Amino acid sequence: MSGRSEQIQALRKARPRDRFLRGSLIAVACLVLYSLVMGDFSFTDIFSKQSQSRLATFWEYLSEKDEPGSPRDLIRIDLRSRALDATMTTLWLSIAAMFLAGLGAIVLSAFAARNLATAEPFIASQKPVTAAKRLAWGGVVWLTRGFLIIARAIPEYIWAFLLIGLFGLGAWPAVLALALHNLGILGRLGAETVENQAPQTPAALRGLGASRSKIYLTDLVPNALPRWIVYFFYRWETCVREAVILGMLGVTSLGYYIFNEARPRDLYDVMLYFTMLGVGLVFCADLLSALIRWRLRKVS
């Protein structure tokens, strides 16, 4: 046992050490500590008397029974129809937004992939390529990637505020806000997936005279499709959750009723009811996504 212990100690001492990695971990730990100390918040606020009083009021409200025919009882009678409409609206918002985002990502990934959107894709050209052509293709890539950065850097809620100013209240601002943000994410992931593919087959197709569009549609897209589907459904789970939140802007999704039942009405049980419906919807989206990813791994 002592010999084995000595071998383990020798291997431990001989293991490779990365000073940059250790320094990064120390820097992150110091940054977290600094944020906790200098941040404008206090953990004692969670356990303050005011917080405890609000929590007691919340539980008292949930346990309180209403008399038949009271205003609060009448509000709850209509919950079933409102819950179904709000849940389906949330679902349709997420589906429509992800369809637009996925379609746009497939198109923009071709212009953001640096191995495809270049003056000499995959193999050197037989004719000399001018500097203007190289500059033009470089501009296409950077403009496309710049748009994708802006699209994903602006949160869905901010996009929705901007679009409400253009189109007014309704479903379209929410759909477009979700679509733009997810387009930025899926477009970047799609371009990276295209760039990481093996170049042998695209180079052979290019040598046979195939155009960029044919190489993209017949080779790059089919090979990238399984990973794209994984990304798509992962973002759809997030999109369902964000569709709930955007209901607070006036779209009759689950978030609309969560916000509507808040102050000054303080219907905490109704708020909790719609919140749990949103949780259930996200859970179903996660389950469907997991099943599809499992099927793709089994096929591949």
pLDDT in tens, 79-119: 666 777 778 888 888 899 999 999 999 999 999 988 888 87
Task: Extract the tokens encoding 110.
Answer: 């071709």
The 3-class SS string of 214-254 reads HHHHHHHHHHHHHHHHHHHHHHHHHHHHHHHHHHHHCCCCH
Cα(4)–Cα(183) distance, integer angstroms: 55
pLDDT of residue 69: 47
Task: Extract the tokens encoding 164.
Answer: 């409400």
| Mean pLDDT over each residue of the chain, to the nearest integer | 79
pLDDT of residue 214 exceeding 70: yes
Fold of 82-299: MetI-like fold (1.10.3720)
pLDDT tens for 166-202 read 888 778 888 999 999 999 999 999 999 988 888 888 8
pLDDT of residue 266 exceeding 50: yes
Q: Which ranges constitute the DSSP H helices of the chain? A: 2-14, 19-38, 49-63, 71-77, 79-112, 131-153, 156-167, 171-195, 200-207, 212-215, 221-246, 254-260, 268-299
Q: Which residue has the higher pLDDT, 181 or 267?
A: 181
Q: What is the pTM of this model?
A: 0.74
Residue type, 144: T
pLDDT of residue 182: 94
Average of pLDDT values for 2-26? Answer: 73
pLDDT tens for 124-179 read 777 777 888 888 888 999 999 999 999 999 988 889 888 888 888 778 888 999 99
Domain ranges of the chain: 82-299
Residue 254: CB atoms within 10 A of its CB come to: 31
Q: What phi and psi, each to the nearest 5 degrees, are found at residue 32?
A: -65, -45
